[in-house]
Structure 1
Amino acid sequence: MDLYSFFNSSTSYRVRIALALKGIDYRYLPVNIRTGEHRETAYVADVNPSASVPALVEGEFSLGQSLAIIDWLDTRHPEPRLIPADAALRARVLEVSYLIACDLHPVNNLRILRYLQDTLKVDAEAKDAWYRHWVAQGMAGVERLLARAAAQHDGPWCFGPAPTLADCCLVPQIANAERMGCDLAAYPRSLAVYLHALGHPAFDEARPQRQPDYAA
């Protein structure tokens, strides 16, 4: 199994966490999105038509989009399950995961920030304000959802005693927000999950600093 990844990509980070939690061995193939390797003709044609990372390849099967990859891993390697089988819990886990992956992350990823800077000529101060604004809006929603979950599920993770897809999405998002200097004090439940995760071997293994293409 091959994983096309970039160390600082939060979507790649999600998949690395899932692979580590499931104990799946894979070959790490770096794709430098800062220099545009994800848009190279061969990569788009042969690996990932969406011209992005991550991409997972096993034999003749290739798949992009982190949430689709993790769902596929759950089907092929169901232990431990990251998307619960119980219908109500599954819906709650996906609710948090989609808030992060569909509402919060897309407006702050590298291509959006570069468009603001390079095409719209937004200065650094305004670009940082953009980032902080959407982090604050998104994380406020996540915090409310996690507060509701904590009232129903005991444990240190988003939904109780074991990590789920929600944790795979939350941890990279907070790591990015910290790297960008966001004030996260208003989200104590989210930070508690994040700090707990940092002590887990699988989450530690998946950290950007642990990847072969890491560059500060």
Structure 2
Amino acid sequence: MQSRDHDTEPLRLYTYWRSSAAYRVRIGLALKALAYESVPVHLLRDGGQQHAAGYRALNPQELVPVLVHGRRVLRQSLAILEYLDECWPQPALLPADARGRARVRALAQAVACDVHPLNNLRVLQFFEQQWAVPQAERETWVRHWIGTGLAALEAMLADDPATGAFCHGDAPGLADCCLVPQLYNARRFGMDVEAWPTLARIERACLALPAFRTAAPEAQPDAPAAS
């Protein structure tokens, strides 16, 4: 059984305002109304602060997010979100039934494992720095893989009776924590998310909630000041 000591131990999130993986975890923390210390890790400044020795000791993958909970160091956004769900079960990010959990995990992983890695910063930096791929071609790559992934996700959600106001039923959960940041990324690259009407509808339902607005990139303390 999970110790109740976790209720009083502090949470510290290593994050970057525009990281979609960190954005997922911020949404989960906000949905559960959990207070945490935000520690910005600038992914571009100083050659990328995630590559510094101190941070590499915390996360050998040199990625955000990392959640420190008391003495525990947690890595990988989906693992962190499920950890939060087990420590603080309400409101739940995963359904109570096995089929529902499998469906939600599949939707979340379609984004986090299939779409997001192909437009991750380190992939685009490799294209630029190692292969001198022009920016226009890098952006074509990004739009292709985001479009392919979101089209599949739209098909998975559009006619499924388990889809409600949100990805699964009428309460936001793990899949919504992944969907909203990916749609934010799509817009960054000039994509019209209304091309996927079910996704756009779910996003509107999410962004109507304070938790999603609190977690938004522009609301973070390390976000650049609006010009």
What is the TM-score normalised by the length of structure 1? Answer: 0.95
Q: 2:29 aligns with which of 1, 4, 19?
A: 19
The count of aligned residue pairs is: 213
- Report runs of 4+ in structure 1 exceeding 4 Å deviation: none
1:97 matches 2:108: yes
Q: What amino acid is aligned across from residue 200 of structure 1 in structure 2?
A: L
Alignment root-mean-square deviation, CA? 1.1
Q: 1:83 aligns with which of 65, 70, 94?
A: 94
Q: Percent identity?
A: 45
Deviation per CA, 1:90-129: give whole Å up to 9, x if none: 0000111011000000000111111111211111111111
Aligned-partner Cα distance in 1 for 2:215–2:83? 19
Q: 1:144 aligns with which of 155, 163, 166?
A: 155
Partner secondary structure for residue 152 of structure 1: coil
Aligned-partner Cα distance in 1 for 2:41–2:202? 29
Alignment gaps of 5+ in structure 2: 1-10
Aligned-partner Cα distance in 1 for 2:125–2:61? 18
Q: What amino acid is aligned across from residue 188 of structure 2 in structure 1?
A: R
Q: What amino acid is aligned across from residue 70 of structure 1 in structure 2?
A: L
In structure 2, the partner of 1:34 is: 44
Deviation per CA, 1:59-97: give whole Å up to 9, x if none: 210111000000100010110110222100000001110
Aligned-partner Cα distance in 1 for 2:97–2:165? 20
In structure 2, the partner of 1:44 is: 56
- CA apart distance, 1:49: 2.2
Q: 1:195 aligns with which of 204, 214, 219?
A: 204
What is the TM-score normalised by the length of structure 2? Answer: 0.91
In structure 1, the partner of 2:7 is: none
Does 113-122 or 167-176 show the bigger shift? Answer: 113-122
Aligned-partner Cα distance in 1 for 2:120–2:162? 32
In structure 2, the partner of 1:56 is: 67
Alignment gaps of 5+ in structure 1: none
Does 81-90 or 163-172 show the bigger shift? Answer: 81-90
Partner secondary structure for residue 67 of structure 2: strand
Q: What amino acid is aligned across from residue 72 of structure 2 in structure 1?
A: F
Partner secondary structure for residue 73 of structure 2: strand
In structure 1, the partner of 2:123 is: 112
Aligned-partner Cα distance in 1 for 2:70–2:167? 34
- CA apart distance, 1:179: 1.4
Aligned-partner Cα distance in 1 for 2:171–2:55? 36
1:17–1:168 CA contact under 8 A, matched in 2 = yes
